[in-house]
Structure 1
Amino acid sequence: MSIRLQLKKQRRANWIALLHASVIAGLLWNFFGPQAPFIFGAGLSLFAAGMLIFLMNRNPKQKYEQL
């Protein structure tokens, strides 16, 4: 696969993700006020940080020992 095709797919994925993020932020802004998208973003970032910490503390050998 050429680098141009990879970049084109990456740009398309970014565009789709940004479109969804903008729609969600706009809906939150309209229905709950201007602070809602920022609170939602803060909550998602805390959730992502928690998941990262949880997944990094897992023992990878534990997965293979159960098999």
Structure 2
Amino acid sequence: MTRFLLIALIWMIVAKPAFAAVDLATGSLIVQGILAGLFTYMMMRKKWRERLDAYRTKKAAKRK
């Protein structure tokens, strides 16, 4: 969880100028939300997959 918070902090620092440019280009908070969501999804996808695999193997072990 702390790693996620660290990523979020870095994201805020790095993304604020980028978002300022995007905001000037689009004037849209929705686009910012989509970009933030995409970024978070890309970062978390690997972790989710690892958890899913662990859960599946645990379930398979129980079944035997």
The TM-score by the shorter chain falls in which range? 0.3 to 0.5
Q: TM-score, normalised by structure 1?
A: 0.45
Give the TM-score of the pair, scaled to structure 2.
0.47
Structure showing the higher helix proportion among its residues: 2
Over alpha carbons, which structure has the higher Rg? 1
